[in-house]
Amino acid sequence: MRNFYSIFSFLIFITEFKISQSDGGYLTFGPQFRATVGEVWPKPYRQVKSDKFYAVNSSDFQFVAVNKNCALLRAALTRYSKIIAATANGNFSTPATTNFAIIRKFRVNLTQSCESLPHLDMDESYYVRGDGVVRADSIWGILRGLETFVQLLVPMSNGLLLTRRTEIYDQPRFKYRGLMLDSARHFVSKAKILQLIEGMAYNKLNVFHWHMTDDSAFPYVSSVFPELSAKGAYRPELTYSKADVLEVVKFARMRGVRVVPEFDTPAHTASWGASHPEIMTKCAGKFEGQIGPLNPTKESTFDFLYKLFSEIKTLFPDKYLHLGVDEVDSACWESNADIQDYLKAHGLDNGDLPYRYLERYSANISAMGWLQMVWQEAMIENSYMEWPKGTIAQVWFDYKKTMATLTKKGHDVIMSDGWYLYVLDTGADWEKLYNVEPTDFNGNKAQKAHVIGGEACLWSEWINEHNVLPTTFPRVSAIAERLWSPVEELSVDEARLRLEEHNCRLMARGIEARPANGFGLC
């Protein structure tokens, strides 16, 4: 940790230089881009700065809750006290400033009682003043405000921390700001998942979408159907126990991050068939020997799903479940003789199969008390389906057309098209992520209001335990600012130096991150 903060300090305070392309091709000494000092990421809604400063002694300060208090707040104050103490460690080269007053108490004013769970409509607005004031009406706003306040603190060579006399009024542009992890194609350990969530909180992201199962593996250890992971996981140790899940949910909750689970159906379920072939569709004809989606003509399929998701409901307290429903190929259903006989006997045709599945499954999920999210195909390909009120569509391709279509029908949507993090480019590819705008489609003001946010996606074909963090950070930071900050304030050129500082900040806090902008120390 000490070495990280030494790097951070040296980078942000090194003498500014210019790149000169001389005939010999020489570059002057230092990093390619000089980081900002004490700037906030994501960019606040409004900040009023001055040229006056305060100082903080990292070994002589305390947070004081001056109004409401709760376990969530106490835990947050402990976490950020440790971060402040660590910020002052290392060998610093910045000159000491003498024109300041010392702050010894940070006053945290939570005006309303704590909520226990983060949720879609939580209030994350806050007010921060540079002399040590953090105020918000909700605990979630306090958490975001604490992150901002600590980002204002920068180390000086005399061991003190410098903070500008400033006022910040802040609130998010979108209420859904997510990161999805696919931990089925490659297993990602609980420890790495916790680091991901920690990094999310440092970027004011608020939804961890956990895509836990897929064709490749079923790593969740169910107590109702333990054979699912016994036969469907890669290896017994590459699984998540109930205790693991509960720890992830609690860890996220303490940081104001929701956990939305996804056990994708009816497709992407080959790993389920390893132990329960009776609920799968056996393909015939040119697909002979293959296993297709869940069989929607069997009552046992829905009995199985009800039992499994009744168990899952006890682990994930969020109001939403992601149903998946992407890439459902009906060819296997159409090739199966038993399914075709069922359709004939009931006066149905192949076009009725998706509706039969979705109507039963969605109704059962609603009966359990869940609201629903789906990938875009669920709505686009099943246009006559009457989705429960509040259902959210996640758009991942052809977004201009899809967003216009779904919002015109009154559906809430989140954006993921262009934010697939496993697609890597050489260089500062955060810039293209930063420039994706969720409302950039033809639609009126009412349609644009149905865009409630967006989500970066970590599909794990090319991501595993060893590269998941640097694949994510600081690239997801660009998406986080797009989703938080006022659209008129967004500029790649303005953001570049702040991201350089923020990337060093992430690394100093133990988050493995790839370089943001080229050569330098972070």
- Are residue 202 and residue 283 in the same domain, yes or no? yes
Query: Residue 55's domain is classified under what CATH number?
Result: 3.30.379.10
Check residue 132 and report its DSSP letter.
T
Banded pLDDT at 317 (limits 50, 70, 90): very high
The answer to whether residue 5 is domain-embedded is: no
Residue ending a domain, choose from 170, 196, 212: 170
The answer to whether residue 313 is domain-embedded is: yes
The answer to whether residue 431 is domain-embedded is: yes
- Under 8 Å between Cβ of 135 and 68: no
The answer to whether residue 514 is domain-embedded is: no
**Of the candidate ranges 75-84, 88-97, 99-108, 398-407, the one whose mean pLDDT is the lowest:** 88-97
Span 121-154, pLDDT tens digits = 999 999 999 999 999 999 999 999 999 999 999 9
327 is catalytic: yes
Once rounded to an integer, what is the mean pLDDT over residues 266-270?
A: 97
Residue ending a domain, choose from 125, 147, 170: 170
Banded pLDDT at 198 (limits 50, 70, 90): very high
- Are residue 462 and residue 325 in the same domain, yes or no? yes
Query: Residue 463's domain is classified under what CATH number?
Result: 3.20.20.80
Residues 267-292, buried b or exposed e (16+ Cβ, 10 A)? bbbbbbbbbbeebbbbbbeebeeebb
Residue ending a domain, choose from 170, 202, 235: 170
Once rounded to an integer, what is the mean pLDDT over residues 382-408?
A: 97
Once rounded to an integer, what is the mean pLDDT over residues 163-188?
A: 97
User: 3-state DSSP call for residue 6?
Assistant: helix
- Under 8 Å between Cβ of 203 and 143: no
- Are residue 332 and residue 398 in the same domain, yes or no? yes
User: 3-state DSSP call for residue 310?
Assistant: helix
Banded pLDDT at 95 (limits 50, 70, 90): low
- The owner of tokens 């599945």 is 357
- Are residue 159 and residue 184 in the same domain, yes or no? no
- Are residue 195 and residue 343 in the same domain, yes or no? yes
The answer to whether residue 85 is domain-embedded is: yes
Banded pLDDT at 521 (limits 50, 70, 90): confident
Span 474-486, pLDDT tens digits = 999 999 999 999 9
The answer to whether residue 236 is domain-embedded is: yes
How confident is the model at residue 427, as a pLDDT?
A: 85
- Are residue 336 and residue 310 in the same domain, yes or no? yes
- Under 8 Å between Cβ of 176 and 204: no
The answer to whether residue 231 is domain-embedded is: yes
CA–CA distance, 218 with 224 (Å, rounded to integer): 14
- Are residue 254 and residue 273 in the same domain, yes or no? yes
- Are residue 147 and residue 237 in the same domain, yes or no? no
Mean of all residue pLDDT scores within the chain: 92
- Are residue 238 and residue 89 in the same domain, yes or no? no
How confident is the model at residue 19, as a pLDDT?
A: 37
Provide φ and ψ at 204, rounded to 5°.
60, 30
CA–CA distance, 275 with 460 (Å, rounded to integer): 23
Overall pTM surpassing 0.85 (yes/no): yes
- Are residue 387 and residue 408 in the same domain, yes or no? yes
The answer to whether residue 469 is domain-embedded is: yes
Banded pLDDT at 159 (limits 50, 70, 90): confident
- Are residue 121 and residue 225 in the same domain, yes or no? no
How confident is the model at residue 9, as a pLDDT?
A: 44
Banded pLDDT at 62 (limits 50, 70, 90): very high
> Could you give the percent of the chain with pLDDT greater than 90?
86
How confident is the model at residue 158, as a pLDDT?
A: 85
- Are residue 204 and residue 336 in the same domain, yes or no? yes
**Of the candidate ranges 9-23, 49-63, 325-339, the one whose mean pLDDT is the lowest:** 9-23
Span 329-351, pLDDT tens digits = 999 999 999 999 999 999 999 99
Range of the domain at 72: 46-170
Name the active-site residue from 227, 327, 386, 461: 327
Give the total number of structural domains in the chain.
Answer: 2
